[in-house]
Structure 1
């Protein structure tokens, strides 16, 4: 329908991004699907999506050109889903500086830079929805996911700040933290540049995670449906929203542990003001 919302989704070649695009098409939304390689989303184009090539690590000038092209397709973009990203595994010590920079370039800096190119459009129209796909790793502190989790924790934080900064322009923002879903995340995971024998236990966990791929409990189609329900509603938004039974349980557990820790240490942390 010509009056249906326009949703732009990054990282649609596989996984959750593809599921969100498919679900949006089934609901009659006008979909702009993106991927690094257009051939990877040719089937989405056949289903009715507009397909655009996008490398979110491109220069700001290139991203601005992309945003202008995307907006011109329908004359507007209503919903931006920042889904593009990847999982860099390894103990923090095992990741090279180049790998760390590349992880943040895609998962965080690319997300921020791309979103900034759409903000003038959203502000001018006094409406917009920014859904940033984070991860349960942002609050769980998983060994082996330190760099990945840190990039997603940055996504959580900037999303919560945007929610406050952009509220006066009627631009809504939320960080969505998926749990383990049956996508290609395990097979597409990249690994540390060096393997230190002292982290042998961690490497065994990595191998188990890779072998577990295809058996994750979460159904990405169901997650996509919930995400579409959210971004097309006028519900009040949380600061961060876990998606998946495991993610919800893990966030609750994490918050309970943090509350308990605060109670145990809060008196120690006090008493640092100047004397009256």
Structure 2
């Protein structure tokens, strides 16, 4: 049965999501990312404004982010594969472990306290920020990717962390591959395949995880059907995707006006700002 949603609240939420999608598209175009690193912090502030309780706000952001990633990750993967840039041998090794990790992360999401999502985001995004701001191209762990067992373990870790952060796994897998000497363009292309493996089961898992929680907050319209399914905001998905796609070229144009190093510094500082925001909310 549809939740009774005041028209004023529906209009406010829809307008805010359209605006947030536009901002996300610009940021994604500038920084070359389209996953949770941008979507989750934008949604977090938006859902705070519309009154989503702290206890369920972060998982709602993460689940919605995973759903938003689905169409973009499929499109990205197909484009990279058509150019022959994807190392399918790595994708095949990671496929099952990553999906298992996503399943485990989704299970954790059903029972985890809200602060866990913030802690994971702060740690992983913080490491990425340090790598962007202070890392050097000659930082290496080896010249060849490790064996199947190590790769499988890392695949599970990628799946768990990505499902708890609402990202497509590109930050984690690209970082791993470049540390083992893979060219950045190949690392990015191969990582696009993980977005498909993570986003689809991840979104389904968050629908499952959030379904019983929505019943605990009957007065929160943003959690009720048809506004949401579990921890996936349907209106967020519907309004975020088209506006972010529309404004992403503007962000890309801005990115081309900056050097690679300036982009790295800008994105690193953005991630540090997000980490500081979530760290502050953990302390207060």
TM-score by length of 2: 0.26
When Rg is computed on C-alpha atoms for both structures, the one with the higher figure is 1
TM-score scaled by length of structure 1: 0.26
* Higher fraction of strand: 1
